[in-house]
Amino acid sequence: MNKIFAYILILGTIVKVSGQNSDILVLEKDTLNLYSNPLEKRTDWERINQSITKQIQEYEFNASQDSIIEFSPFFQNYKTEWKIEKGNLYFNKITTYTDLESKLDLTKIFKGNKFPLIADWLNDSLIIFEGNCIICESNHLKNTSIYPNELILKFRKGTLVNKSRYKNQILKESKLSGLDPSEYLKYIYSKVNWSKLGKMDKTIQAFVSIEPDKNGKLKKIDWENTYLISDNNIIKIKKNRFLKEAVRIAKHIPDWTVILSHKKIMNQGISIIFSQEMKEKYAR
């Protein structure tokens, strides 16, 4: 499957999730937050990440009075700092949560390269966000939030070749977005026609992606990103009774949140879990 939801916006419900501090970019006189770490684009990224983490762990262990040192298994325990000078992107330094950058041997990590290090490996775009997030989402891989202002910088061999600016906004909020989580779940699962699904001996999760119009009404089902997950398998058969039921419920949602991102209305989604436990809890 080429595309899976990067994240699922359940009827536009906004949930603030705290995540790691972002990597930063110094551009002229501004210090800006990056969505991603440009080091991850290097072919030797895994080795570099392991080497940085190892140095931090060794220093923390030697400096700490405690026998137990906690490191997050999901988030990197440092952030990187970058700068753009004369149209080129440079890796400037690493900052850790305990301000250890002076203790890290970056020349060892990067095999003798001098700093600042030109990012000549980068043939991609970097996204910079500004303002408070209007949709706040994170997962263990990255920050997937949406911010009111975005600056996209495109690089070729570390040289800046293009800039694009976007203004993102919520044009309309779904009436259901004001419900608390328990009320929302009760509303969704009360719509399930459990009697037609039969007994369920396994848990099946459905994801339905829809394209809303500017008024928040369902325009069409995005079948490419509508599917089931059962026993770690992805099922996209439209006639599957669970997928049909999830799509039926999505079609009866009265309105959807409308978010304008990169000058386009974002797709919205709904997730439904079909299981004997959910049936016993919500079936009437």
Residue of 265, 272, 255 lying closest to 179 (CA atoms): 255
Query: Is the separation of the CB atoms in 150 and 168 below 8 Å?
Result: yes
| Mean pLDDT along residues 179-190 | 94
DSSP calls for 169-196:
EEEE--GGGGS-HHHHHHHHHHT--GGG
Segment 208-237, tens digit of pLDDT: 999 999 999 999 999 999 999 999 899 999
DSSP 284: -
Segment 151-160, tens digit of pLDDT: 999 999 999 9
Asked if pLDDT for residue 168 goes beyond 60, the answer is yes
Q: What is the length of the chain?
A: 284
Q: What confidence tier does 94 reach under pLDDT thresholds 50, 70, 90?
A: confident
**Element (DSSP H or E) covering residue 249:** helix 241-251
- pLDDT score for 204: 96
- pLDDT score for 52: 87
> What's the pTM value of the predicted model, to 2 decimals?
0.69
Query: Is the separation of the CB atoms in 196 and 273 below 8 Å?
Result: no
What's the order of all strands across the beta sheet hosting 258-261? Answer: 169-172, 258-261, 264-265
| Residue scoring higher pLDDT (30 or 139) | 30
Dist. CA 102–CA 96, nearest whole Å: 10
Asked if pLDDT for residue 140 goes beyond 60, the answer is no
Q: Among 53-57, 64-68, 201-205, which is the least confidently predicted range?
A: 64-68
